[in-house]
Structures are given as structure tokens and as C-alpha cells.
Amino acid sequence: MHPFLLAALAAAEAHFRADARCVGMYLHGSIGRGDTDAYSDIDVCAVIEDAHYPAVKAEMRELCGKLFGPIVAWLPEGERPNYCNYAFLFKNGDDLLLTDFDIISRSLFVERNQPPDRVLWDRTGILHEVAAKVHPKTTVAAERVLRLIDTFWVYAYLDGKYWCRQDLYKLLYVQETLLRTHARVLNLLHRESEGSWWAGDMAKLPARDQRRMRVYFSAATPAAVARSLARSLDAFAEDARLLCQQLHVPYPAERETAVRKHLHALGLPKPTRKV
């Protein structure tokens, strides 16, 4: 990690410690887990008293410019009345650096009940209280699993239409949706959670599944998409069946059969190798 990022984080921590409107601060991402490398940035969150949240939010851009450096790009993400992540690029000498700075209202932090990776400081004890709780495993609803399976096969059906039209970019759009849906199924299968961000979640999957999922990235022409689709259908069907078995939910095979029959009738190729 760039040394200035740590210095800027210390300055931000000192500023918010001195601001009575702030309840506490915590870290997440690689810095929160303690596995940073030379390319890591800062992921930090400040918990703000509800009544003062709008005022703190209005100050964030100017404040971050003072604490971190001249801002080159400012990107509010996931913005809600009581939460926002500010991803911003800033200059430090000749270096261009990135920070993700979240602010969240106290009530939403308590409602979310998500333990922080690493508490920096905690004025009232609520951050440590949430961190100390034993969080029960999520129960996967059969309805949610079936919805994911339906999502996959409906979008696989759309690939047939875009294949016939030779519409590459819509084919790629469908492949992206299939990838995200498949990743959620795999996360449920191995980790009992749908995950939060597929690009980060993928590395936590077994090596075999990581290799199988790369099939979604092998396409740059309609013909390549079709070959990729043929293999990805098999991989998804295998994983979805395992998940249904695990949850004692009947796998809706008729949906898969209908979509495969339709795609085959349109001339899409069958798998050429075992996945």
C-alpha cells in the first residue's frame, strides 16, 4: 500500500475522532482484513449520528480534498438518504491514488447488523457490539434458488434470439448476466451466501469452479459466444442441481430441457468438450 494512504487515513481518523457528530470508524476490504499489497487502496467507513448525517454528507468532498489531496475524480456510489460510498481519485505528488470512503447513519449501521472487519475507534460501543455478535448462518430460501435458476434459463433463451440476429453486444450482455447468476449459485453452494461482488467472491471458490467459470470470458464473436454458451449451460446445470440436492428442492429440469431444445433448434452448437 502506498505510504501516503496510511498517512491520509490517520489524518481522517484524527479529524472524525474530534467531530462529536461521528460515532466511530471502521475499515473493510483488504485493509480491514489485513491482507493489503502494494496495489491496495483504503476502504474506510464513518458512522454518523442520524441528525447530523446530511450536514456531514454535504462536507465530504471538500473535507476529503483537504485530508487526502487534490481530487481528480469524485464518484458517489450506492447513494441513499442515510448511506453513501465516495470513491475518489486524488493526487499525491506525481502519484494518483484511490480511496473508498463510506458514511452511514447510526440507525442504518445498527439495522444492517454487519460486523466491521476492523474497528478504528468507537465512541459509544455500538461498533464493537455489532462486531461481537454471533451471526447465524443465512437460511437459503428455496424460492430464491428457483428464481436464480429461472433467471439463468430465461437469459440463456435470449441468447438464441441474439444468435439468430448475430447481435454480438447483446450476446455479451446476456453472457454477463449468466455469469453473475451462476456465480451466485456457486456461492450459495459453497458458502451459503450469494456473495457481494462476483469479482471478489470468485477467488474464494474452489479452484475447479474458478476454471469452469472462465468459460464466460472466452467470447469475442457470435460464434465464440455460442461455443462458450454450450459449455456454460452444462456447468450451470451441474451446479444448480447440486444446490437443489443440498437444499432438498426438486430441480426444475423441464425449464432446462425446454431452453436447450429451443437453442438447438436455432442451430447453436452443442458442447465440444467436457466442462
Q: Residue 242 is placed in which grid cell?
A: 447440486
What's the CATH code, domain 3-132?
3.30.460.10
Which residues 6+ apart lie within 8 Å of 154 measured at CB? Answer: none
Q: Locate CATH 1.20.120 in the chain.
A: 142-265
Q: Locate CATH 3.30.460.10 in the chain.
A: 3-132
**What local confidence, expressed as pLDDT, does residue 148 receive?**
93
> Are the beta carbons of 230 and 203 closer than 8 angstroms?
no
**What local confidence, expressed as pLDDT, does residue 274 receive?**
43
Positive or negative torsion for Cα 87, 91, 96, 99: negative
**What local confidence, expressed as pLDDT, does residue 198 receive?**
85
**What local confidence, expressed as pLDDT, does residue 275 receive?**
39
Q: Could you give the C-alpha distances from 233 to 16, 40, 44, 128, 212, in angstroms and in order?
A: 50, 35, 39, 45, 11
**What local confidence, expressed as pLDDT, does residue 204 receive?**
85
d(CA 235, CA 49): 48
**What local confidence, expressed as pLDDT, does residue 137 receive?**
52
**What local confidence, expressed as pLDDT, does residue 273 receive?**
42
**What local confidence, expressed as pLDDT, does residue 134 receive?**
58
**What local confidence, expressed as pLDDT, does residue 24 receive?**
96
**If the chain, 275 residues long, is cut into consecutive pieces of 10 residues, what is the mean pLDDT of each piece?**
93 96 93 86 96 96 96 92 94 92 96 89 91 63 88 92 90 92 91 81 88 82 83 92 90 89 82 45
pTM of the model as a whole? 0.69
**What local confidence, expressed as pLDDT, does residue 92 receive?**
92
d(CA 214, CA 232): 9
What's the CATH code, domain 142-265?
1.20.120
Residue with cell 462476483: 198
